[in-house]
Amino acid sequence: MSVRTDLAVEAKEIYEKENKKEISGVKVSNSSLGRVKITNVQIQTDEGEHLMQKPIGTYITIDMPQYTHYDAEIMDEVSEAVAGELSKLIKLEESMTALVVGLGNWNVTPDALGPKVVNKIMITRHLKKLIPDSIDEGIRPVCSLAPGVLGITGMETGEIIKGVVDKIKPNLIICIDALASRKIERVNSTIQIGTTGISPGAGVGNKRMEISEKTLGIPVIAIGVPTVVDAATIANDTIDMVLDEMIKSAEKGKEFYDMLKSINKGEKQKMIEEILNPFVGDLMVTPKEVDAVIDSLSKIIANGINIALQPALTKEDINKYIQ
C-alpha cells in the first residue's frame, strides 16, 4: 500500500479493495454506544501484521456523528465511548501511576491536539504526595508531559519521554497525537485508540523514535485523530470520482468506455504525486475550521481519559476539578 494512513481500519479497507479479498490474521468487530460507532480491529498474526503494515495489537476506531463539535450532548457521548474503550485496556491498580503524554507542536494548530489534551487532564500525582490526607483514596496518581517537537527542543520526543519514565517510573503511558488519514471524510471525525504505541510524525512522513512498550518497558496506549490528509490523496480521489461518473454515462462496449475502464488507478496516483511534488511539495491539508475543531476534540479526549483513569469519581467531580 503506497497510500498514507495511520488508521488501521483504513489500511484494512484499502488492502481488501485492492486485492478483492479479506485479510487473514485480522479480526474485526463492530459495536455502538448511542450515536457513536465503534470498530475494533485486532491484528493477531505475523501475516496480518505484514499485510496491514501495522504491529500486532488492538486498534479501536471511534467514528463521531456529524456536528459533534457543535453539540455538547454528542461530545459527552463520544467522551463516554472513549472512556469505555480505554477502561478495557487500562490494567492498573488504584495506587499505580499513569503518565499522559501530549505529542505534537503547540504552535501548529493541526498538530496541537496532544498538548491541548494535556492541559485538560486531571493531574493528581503531586497532590497524592503533598496533601495525601486531603485527597480521596480512590483517586489514581496521574501526571502529564507535553515534550514538544525536535525542531523546538533539539531533542527526540522519545528521548525526553524515556528520561521521564526512567525517573518517575509510571506504570502506564497514554500518548495523544495528530494522525494522517487516507479519506477526507475521516479528518477530524475519527478517534483511534491503539495498544502498540506510536511513532511521532510518521503520518506526515517524518518518522521519529518509536514510543511503545518495546522501547520504554511499560504498556503504551496511543490515542490519535487524523487532522490532515495528503493533497495528492485529495486530487486522486477527485479524479476517481470524475472517472466513475464518466464511466456511468459512457456507453458500454465503446472505445471511450474501454479506455476509461483500463486506467490503472495505482499508476494514476503515482503520476499525480510526481506532478504535484515540484509545485506544492509534500503538502498536507486540513479544514479551515481546524482551530475550533481541535479545541472540541481536546475536550472530548481529555474527558474520556479522565473518566477512564479516575473510575472512583463522577464526571461532574472531574469537571469541577479541571475547571
3 found inside a domain: no
Q: Are 169 and 239 found together in one domain? A: no
CATH of the domain at 117: 3.40.50.1450
- Cell numbers representing residue 142 in the block: 496521574
pLDDT at 253 > cutoff 80: no
Q: Are 86 and 22 found together in one domain? A: yes
- Per-residue model confidence as pLDDT tens digits over 274-288: 777 777 667 788 888
Q: How many domains does the chain divide into?
A: 2
Supply the range of the domain harboring residue 207: 8-232+283-322
Q: Are 256 and 294 found together in one domain? A: no
Q: How far is CA 81 from its chain centroid?
A: 15
Q: Are 75 and 119 found together in one domain? A: yes
Q: Are 127 and 273 found together in one domain? A: no
Q: Are 100 and 183 found together in one domain? A: yes
What are the backbone dihedrals phi and psi of residue 291, each rounded to the nearest 5 degrees, phi first? -60, -55
Alpha helices in the chain (DSSP H): 8-19, 46-52, 72-89, 113-118, 125-130, 150-153, 157-168, 213-216, 231-249, 255-261, 265-280, 290-309, 315-322
261 found inside a domain: yes
Q: DSSP per residue over 135-162, as a string?
A: S-TTPPPEEEE----HHHHSS-HHHHHH
Q: Are 191 and 244 found together in one domain? A: no
Q: Are 171 and 256 found together in one domain? A: no
Looking at residue 1, what is its pLDDT?
40
Looking at residue 258, what is its pLDDT?
77
Looking at residue 189, what is its pLDDT?
92
- Per-residue model confidence as pLDDT tens digits over 160-217: 999 999 999 999 999 999 998 888 888 899 999 999 998 765 545 556 678 999 999 9
pLDDT at 51 > cutoff 60: yes
Q: Are 275 and 292 found together in one domain? A: no
Average per-residue pLDDT in the chain? 86
